[in-house]
Amino acid sequence: MELNRLSAHELMGLLDKGDISHVDICNSIIDSIDKKDKSLNAIVNFDKGKVLERANAQKGLPVFIKDNICVKDELTTCSSNILKGFRPPYNATVIEKLLNRNAILMGKTNMDEFAFGSSTETSCYGTTKNPWDLERIPGGSSGGSAACVAADEAIWALGSDTGGSVRQPAGLCGVVGLKPTYGRVSRYGLIAFASSLDQIGTLTKDTEDAAILLKIISGHDPMDSTSVDRPVPDYAKLIKKDIKGLKLGIPKEYFIEGMDKEVKQSVLDAIKKLESLGAACENISLPHTEYAVAVYYLVATAEASSNLARFDGVQYGLRSSQAKGVIDMHKKTRGEGFGDEAKRRIILGAFALSSGYYDAYYLRALKVRTLIKKDFEDAFKKYDAIITPTSPTPAFKIGEKTEDPLTMYLCDIFTISANLAGIPGVSMPCGFTKSNLPVGLQILGKAFDEETILRIAYNYEQGTEWSKRKPGI
């Protein structure tokens, strides 16, 4: 039995019966990594000896962590040269919650530098490949987490989602990616990109695993001022109820000109399936969607330029050896340490926040963000959830969009609105193209109503075979 190919809940059942051990699971994953990761480049920090030591000492399931979530004394670099060698002196709250469940921390996964990207091509460790086609990107910025789960190098993994960075790679790699409501999961120990948008999320093989992992990492945390003190439901039990009578909105703004025809058809077929399961689907409008990309790339870059000001060669990470004086050290360290995309976003953000431009750009973006949020609030007065594609196209070829940042930014056109509004969203497989590339279905829900979107996803998953497909790598 190839234990690495099983879901977390299947492994839990075998462990409860005493049929397997935690060491057996870790060995199966290690074998898979040995065979596949030289081709995939999904994992950037992995120590076999340390993993087996933990497996012998702890009685939980193995989990991989995105490289921007702090693990005490473990390399945590945001896949950037400027944090080379950085080992945090503390654990993120989600890591403490996992360790409280005896989780076996396997190591770190590759990502776009500081989560700036939609393709995992901006990492200082090199590009991660899509396990369905090694010439294509896995999505980003949590591409390493999505790829290793899809390729059965991991049972499940954590990622972060600022504008779709969990859902978009999940859609392109054919796994389940969940972005919780802003405030549901503590951000303490997540190295910040854009603080009003960032949220830690999950990448899993199926919906039941997403429900289990969400329950583990959720809950109020006094270390995070944006963490909300609300009860955390037992999602894994609640999602198994049917979806008869649920009203689902289908926004016309998410079926745009230029969208891949096979993606569109797969999503329309999924909507028909949901109707056959008892849900009522109606066309709706979210009128301010057209401004979402512009708003996002003002708000996100402004917050990023502020957050990344701390990386200056003084306290941690890289310090230029060529510097003459403090000012020169700041300039040279940041020049050498940040990649092109990071520099681009810092410059854009600094411009938006600069004197004379703040009101015209950043402040106006915040006002339009409020309108986008209101669109969702109005829709959720009538509908239980909103159904959209996750991405307008399947995974594209490596290098195809690196010279055209604007085209790359449009890859997140269907996912960023959820971050601007702070609502939860989940992506799951809903079909494959003729080239055998996964297509993602996105389900968006009311704030703190992860239960409903996971319930819809679970019922759809049970009625289809898409989640059972495995890449040939």
Separation of alpha carbons 343 and 348, rounded Å: 9
Please say whether the beta carbons of 221 and 93 come within 8 A.
yes
Peptide bond between residue 141 and the one before it cis (omega within 30 degrees of 0): yes
Residues annotated as part of the active site? 66, 141, 165
pLDDT of the residue at 211: 98
pLDDT of the residue at 357: 87
Residue with the two structure tokens 């950043």: 362
Separation of alpha carbons 358 and 349, rounded Å: 10
Distances in Å between the Cα of 178 and the Cα atoms of 14, 208, 231, 320 are: 25, 11, 19, 39
Nearest partner of 322 among 310, 311, 334, judged by Cα: 334
Distances in Å between the Cα of 283 and the Cα atoms of 271, 355, 413, 425 are: 11, 43, 19, 19
Give, as one character, the DSSP assignment of residue 168.
H
Complete DSSP assignment for 274-313: HHHTT-EEEEE--GGGGGHHHHHHHHHHHHHHHHGGG-SS
- HSE (side-chain half, CA atoms, 13 Å) at 1: 11
- Cβ atoms within 10 Å of 62's Cβ, excluding its own: 26
Q: Are strands 438-445 and 425-432 parallel, antiparallel or unpaired?
A: antiparallel
Phi, then psi, of 212 in degrees rounded to 5? -65, -45
Separation of alpha carbons 61 and 199, rounded Å: 23
Instruction: Tell me the sheet residues that pair with 156.
Output: 204
Non-local CB neighbours of 248 within 8 Å, separated by 6+ positions: 271, 274, 279, 280, 281, 282, 383, 384, 385, 386, 387, 456
pLDDT of the residue at 347: 95
With a cut of 50, list the residues of the chain below it in pLDDT: none
pLDDT of the residue at 24: 97
Separation of alpha carbons 312 and 269, rounded Å: 51
Q: Are strands 385-389 and 425-432 parallel, antiparallel or unpaired?
A: unpaired
The CATH label, of 3.40.190.10, 3.40.50.12140, 3.90.1300.10, 3.30.10.20, for the domain at 3-287+372-468 is 3.90.1300.10
Give, as one character, the DSSP assignment of residue 362.
I
Give, as one character, the DSSP assignment of residue 230.
-
Quick one: CA dihedral 85, 90, 96, 100, positive or negative? positive
pLDDT of the residue at 410: 83
Separation of alpha carbons 21 and 56, rounded Å: 9
Decide: pTM greater than 0.85: yes
